[in-house]
Structure 1
């Protein structure tokens, strides 16, 4: 077990272009499961490979247990890697694949057998130990690849999108197994994925990267409820948070929407002085409430009229994909032209092309600066 620290670490492939990883500073606590997440090309895999010694560090340093490993070879860092592609030797059995690194390290045969059988028991691989990769399913191969890393008792696990080749059902069961296994072993783990659902369900903390720049690091729930900027707000959560540009901030410090600027979005008074007359409003799908179905809201209060475009039924819940109706005097605009609401099981009577009226639930909206798009909570 070990701590990991990136200190202003950069990876520069081409000096004429922005770095693939740009001055990342990040600390991973001893025994922590940290997930690096971001879209393709965000630098998450490169950052992890810098830790493992598979990519050079062009600027800054990477430390393991306060020791600078930036110039050490990969084999000298005591880091075990689990790859997306399994990377198993096809001519070897599962037992031989798992034992290979220990044999190269000249470990006594009895100790190798003990380590392999211990890892196989953890991963429920005992019936597969004498089979070759070609005789296994994708999930079984991935468990063998994990077992090969576990037997080494490394200081740090690095996992590079290990579940992306598995089908949806197997991904769910395998990610639960990885999470429980990591807690049992207590090994510091850096896990890379582009799937924000994996990130939210597996990580003790989640680090969001965009174009090589670290955007925010936090516990999953706090990251979801208090995104640092509009990129994190839009990336974390499925469906994503609705972002509404151009909400008017009134002279008395209220953020107003709707065709007649009457819908109060509950902007905290202390935030009003941080923004120049307008604000970006973010609302999660579950934080909208329907207050009318048809021509007008049932309670006669202020609301936002929407046209339902698609009803996505998922059994226990449903998502309404809506478009804000264009009305005279409406100055705000929904980013991406789509607003998504989540409804619990049992909803009835809402079909495509119908009109609904919504307003956010009290104290659930998130507010961002209209210029730098940073959450006003952090300014």
Structure 2
């Protein structure tokens, strides 16, 4: 077990372009499960490969247990990798794949057998030890790849999107198994994924990257409820948070969606009214409430929407809606559409219906109109 620290670490492929990883500073505690998440090209895999020694560090440094490993070879860092592609030797059995690194390290055969058997028991692989990868399912091969890392007893695990090749049902069961296994072993783990659901359900903390820049690091629930900026707000959560641009700040410290629109939203800070006349309002899908349907329900304290699609998922439903033009509302929903999540009472809602909604009290998040940073952090 070990601590990991990135100190202003950068990876620069082309000096004429922005760094792939740009001055990232991040500390991973001993035994912590940290998830790096972001869209494609955000630098999350590169950052992890810098830790593992598979990518050079052009600026700054990476430390393991307070020792700078920036110039050490990958084999000397005591870091174990689990890849997206499994990377198993096809001509070897599961037992041989798991034992290979230990044999190269000249470990006694008895110790190798004990380590392999221990890892196989953890991963429920005992019946597969003599089978080759071609005789296994994708989930079984991924468990063998994990077993190959476990037998080494490394200081740090690095996992690069290990579930992306699995089907949806297997991904759910395997991510639960990885989380349980990591807690049992207590090994510091850096896990890379583009799937924010994986990030939210697996990580002790989640680090969000965008274009090589670290946006926010926090516990999953706090990240969801208090996103640092509009990018994090839109990326974390499925469906994404609705962002409303151009809400007017009033003298009493509230935000209004239009000059004659009485849907007042209480701002978290009284001094905002003194410095800015606009804010961006963020509303989560579950934070909308339906006030009424049809034109008769129109009122100045609601937002009118047209339902475009109703996705019924049994115990809940998603309403995909577009905003309707009204002279009472000068603020604009970003993208012109929003998604609502309803737990019940949605059976009578159909496409093309007009509904009138408002955010539930105290549920909104507010962002600065220029920097798009959450007002809580300013």
Which interval holds the TM-score relative to the shorter structure? over 0.9
1:361 matched residue in structure 2: 360
1:283 pairs with 2:283 = yes
Gap change, CA 1:147 and 1:49, over 3 Å in 2 = same
Q: Is the 8 A contact 1:259 1:328 kept in 2?
A: no
Q: 1:130 & 1:343 partners in 2: Cα distance?
A: 50
1:326 matched residue in structure 2: 325
Instruction: Name the count of aligned residue pairs.
Output: 378
2:223 matched residue in structure 1: 223
Q: 1:111 & 1:10 partners in 2: Cα distance?
A: 40
Please give the TM-score of this superposition, normalised by the length of structure 1: 0.98
Secondary structure of the residue aligned to 1:262 is strand
Q: 1:259 & 1:289 partners in 2: Cα distance?
A: 22
Deviates further, 249-258 or 278-287 = 249-258
2:97 matched residue in structure 1: 97
1:257 pairs with 2:257 = yes
1:294 matched residue in structure 2: 294
What's the CA shift for 1:89? 0.2
1:81 pairs with 2:87 = no
User: CA offsets per residue over residues 273-329 of structure 1, 9 Å max, x none?
Assistant: 47510000000000011111112448x661111111111111110010111110124
Task: Write out aligned runs for 1:1-379 (5 A).
Answer: 1-258=1-258, 260-270=260-270, 272-273=272-273, 275-297=275-297, 302-379=301-378
Secondary structure of the residue aligned to 2:57 is coil
- Structure 2 unaligned residues grouped into runs of 5+: none
- Structure 1 unaligned residues grouped into runs of 5+: none
What's the CA shift for 1:271? 5.3
Q: 2:147 & 2:358 partners in 1: Cα distance?
A: 51
Q: 1:126 & 1:271 partners in 2: Cα distance?
A: 64
Q: 2:239 & 2:28 partners in 1: Cα distance?
A: 29
Secondary structure of the residue aligned to 1:270 is coil
User: CA offsets per residue over residues 156-212 of structure 1, 9 Å max, x none?
Assistant: 000000000000000000000000000000000000000000000000000000000
Following TM superposition, the consecutive aligned residue runs of length 4 or more in structure 1 with deviations greater than 6 angstroms are none
Please give the TM-score of this superposition, normalised by the length of structure 2: 0.98
What's the CA shift for 1:258? 4.9
Deviates further, 356-365 or 259-268 = 259-268
Q: Is the 8 A contact 2:13 2:20 kept in 1?
A: yes
Q: 1:114 & 1:213 partners in 2: Cα distance?
A: 43
Q: 1:81 & 1:228 partners in 2: Cα distance?
A: 31
Deviates further, 251-260 or 20-29 = 251-260
User: CA offsets per residue over residues 52-74 of structure 1, 9 Å max, x none?
Assistant: 00000000000000000000000
Q: Is the 8 A contact 1:275 1:370 kept in 2?
A: no
Q: Is the 8 A contact 2:253 2:266 kept in 1?
A: no
Q: 1:274 & 1:150 partners in 2: Cα distance?
A: 57
Deviates further, 315-324 or 166-175 = 315-324
Q: 2:345 & 2:117 partners in 1: Cα distance?
A: 50
Q: 1:14 & 1:311 partners in 2: Cα distance?
A: 46
Q: Is the 8 A contact 1:245 1:370 kept in 2?
A: yes
Deviates further, 316-325 or 83-92 = 316-325
Secondary structure of the residue aligned to 2:18 is coil
Secondary structure of the residue aligned to 1:316 is coil
Q: Is the 8 A contact 1:275 1:369 kept in 2?
A: no
Gap change, CA 1:174 and 1:4, over 3 Å in 2 = same
Q: 2:271 & 2:33 partners in 1: Cα distance?
A: 34
Q: 1:71 & 1:308 partners in 2: Cα distance?
A: 57
Q: Is the 8 A contact 1:312 1:320 kept in 2?
A: yes
Secondary structure of the residue aligned to 2:46 is helix
Secondary structure of the residue aligned to 1:145 is helix
What's the CA shift for 1:254? 1.4
What's the CA shift for 1:259? 7.3
